[in-house]
Amino acid sequence: MEKLNVSLGERSYTISIGSNLLDKKNIFYPLKTGNKAMLVTNKTLANIWKDKVLRCLFEQGIKVDEVILSDGEKYKNLCEMESIISSLLENTHGRDTTLIGLGGGVIGDITGFSAAIYQRGVRYIQIPTTLLSQVDASVGGKTAVNHVLGKNMIGVFWQPASVLIDIQFLHTLPKRELVSGIAEVVKYAIIFDSDFFVWLEKNIEGILNLDIKLMKHCILTCCKFKLRLIELDERESDCRVLLNLGHTYGHAIESHVGYGNWLHGEAVSAGIIMAARTAEKIGLLKNKDVKRIEKLMSRVGLPIRGPKNMLPSSYFPYFMRDKKVISGVIRMILPVKIGEAKVFTGIDEDIIKSVITDCIQNN
């Protein structure tokens, strides 16, 4: 088991990464015998992993209640979150309780947000079960639910007490979800490390086949990149915004087509290509780098074009509600080369529209 420490003073916590971690004793740090907890998961995962997680908690002497939510991005909303709060109240959980989010980004976000606001803040533990949540969503304390007009528009920063990443969860993950998660992995390589991008080009088939050694290296590398930015910029007022590469376009796609119709990683993949092509149009990124990014996404099985029925004019209302907008000015994260990205403002709308037009699916 590998351990990484996110150093944020009194909000510091440990990320544990390994395989078969649920077979280890006292893995649910910082819970202790006699503590009370609420397990939050969805109907799909409840049928696969809930009993094993509950057994581990019971063996550790933890008193556990549970709440089972519907499965899917469209259920990441205030209504579902209210069911968590109601369950906490009905089972008389106090400020000393701990929420445990067992699931992907949806469960992690909604559990974290519930923990942040329940009785003005309680602890929570992240147990991410998807690749996307293991490399990205579970780390960093960004918690939120969606609004019909925009993704992740209602939320707060609230760091977890610990993150438990067990690679074994990925063996029960649908192939489409696994592929979706790799978009965030590629994102890290484009932003931070050209050598990691080359490593992905060489090893992507092994990752798709869940090679344990490759997966561990992949997840560990991404978590190291992310914690470095979190420690520098916990609340995304500066360099942490770079992690939104592809998300300005991607969130617009998710919101427009309806949450869950495109998975987050699928939308981010198309968004990264649009960001790369935007950078190419304004002379920042070489065409050969755009082609390498497109080729890698295609090898994974990710989309490199936006929805065929979503015209350029449909993107801009979502752009203007994007959390990176300042004083009505759109900010975009664009790659300047593989291994480096920067924040740009004042990009000509005609250029953005032409990029979207070039990136519309033809079939």
* Domain CATH for 250: 1.20.1090.10
The answer on 223 and 319 residing in a single domain is yes
The answer on 60 and 188 residing in a single domain is no
User: Would residue 331 count as lying in a domain?
Assistant: yes
**Mean model confidence pLDDT for the chain:** 96
Number of domains within the chain? 2
Question: Is 292 an annotated catalytic residue?
Answer: no
Catalytic residue, candidates 73, 236, 280, 294: 236
Q: What is the pLDDT of residues 139-196, one digit of tens each?
A: 999 999 999 999 999 999 999 999 999 999 999 999 999 999 999 999 999 999 999 9
Question: Is 324 an annotated catalytic residue?
Answer: no
The answer on 211 and 299 residing in a single domain is yes
The answer on 140 and 246 residing in a single domain is no
Q: Which of 175-179, 219-223, 319-323 is the least confident region? A: 319-323
- pLDDT given at position 325: 84
Mean per-residue pLDDT, 324-329: 83
User: Would residue 296 count as lying in a domain?
Assistant: yes
Question: Is 226 an annotated catalytic residue?
Answer: yes
Residue 326: is its pLDDT beyond 90?
A: no
User: Would residue 159 count as lying in a domain?
Assistant: yes
User: Would residue 267 count as lying in a domain?
Assistant: yes
Tokens representing 296 are 């890698």
Q: What is the pLDDT of residues 21-35, one digit of tens each?
A: 999 988 999 999 999
DSSP three-state, residue 362:
coil
Q: What is the pLDDT of residues 226-258, one digit of tens each?
A: 999 999 999 998 999 999 999 999 999 999 999
Question: Is 184 an annotated catalytic residue?
Answer: yes
Residue 363: is its pLDDT beyond 70?
A: no
- pLDDT given at position 223: 98
The answer on 190 and 163 residing in a single domain is no
Catalytic residue, candidates 93, 187, 247, 281: 247
Residue 16: is its pLDDT beyond 80?
A: yes
Catalytic residue, candidates 187, 244, 294, 331: 244
The answer on 146 and 31 residing in a single domain is yes
Residue 47, number of CB atoms within 10 A of its CB: 12
Q: How far is CA 113 from CA 108, 142, 167, 332, in A?
A: 9, 8, 25, 26
Catalytic residue, candidates 120, 175, 213, 288: 120
Q: What is the pLDDT of residues 94-147, one digit of tens each?
A: 999 999 999 999 999 999 999 999 999 999 999 999 999 999 999 999 999 999
Pairing of strands 98-103, 36-42: parallel
Q: Which of 48-52, 80-84, 357-361 is the least confident region? A: 357-361
Among 153, 172, 191, which residue terminates a domain? 172
Rounded to two decimals, what is the model's pTM?
0.94
% of the chain with per-residue pLDDT over 70: 99
> Whose structure tokens read 């086949």?
209
The answer on 310 and 211 residing in a single domain is yes
Catalytic residue, candidates 93, 187, 226, 277: 226
**H runs (alpha helix) in 31-170:** 43-46, 50-59, 78-90, 105-117, 131-132
Question: Is 205 an annotated catalytic residue?
Answer: no
Sign of the torsion formed by the C-alpha atoms of 274, 311, 345 and 326: negative
User: Would residue 145 count as lying in a domain?
Assistant: yes
**How far, in Å, CA of 74 to CA of 345, rounded?**
31
User: Would residue 42 count as lying in a domain?
Assistant: yes
User: Would residue 363 count as lying in a domain?
Assistant: no
Question: Is 299 an annotated catalytic residue?
Answer: no
The answer on 250 and 156 residing in a single domain is no
Catalytic residue, candidates 123, 264, 281, 331: 264
CATH code of residue 97: 3.40.50.1970
Cβ proximity of 155 and 144 under 8 Å: yes
- pLDDT given at position 60: 93
Cβ proximity of 297 and 273 under 8 Å: yes
User: Would residue 248 count as lying in a domain?
Assistant: yes
Question: Is 363 an annotated catalytic residue?
Answer: no
Among 149, 172, 195, which residue terminates a domain? 172
Mean per-residue pLDDT, 196-212: 97
Give the angle 206-46-112 at the CA atoms, nearest 5°.
85
- pLDDT given at position 361: 76
The answer on 274 and 164 residing in a single domain is no
The answer on 119 and 69 residing in a single domain is yes
Catalytic residue, candidates 80, 177, 184, 234: 184
The answer on 186 and 163 residing in a single domain is no
- pLDDT given at position 362: 64
361 or 150: which leads in pLDDT: 150
Q: Which domain holds residue 109?
A: 2-172
- pLDDT given at position 26: 87
Q: What is the pLDDT of residues 264-290, one digit of tens each?
A: 999 999 999 999 999 999 999 999 999
Among 172, 199, 230, which residue terminates a domain? 172
The answer on 264 and 348 residing in a single domain is yes
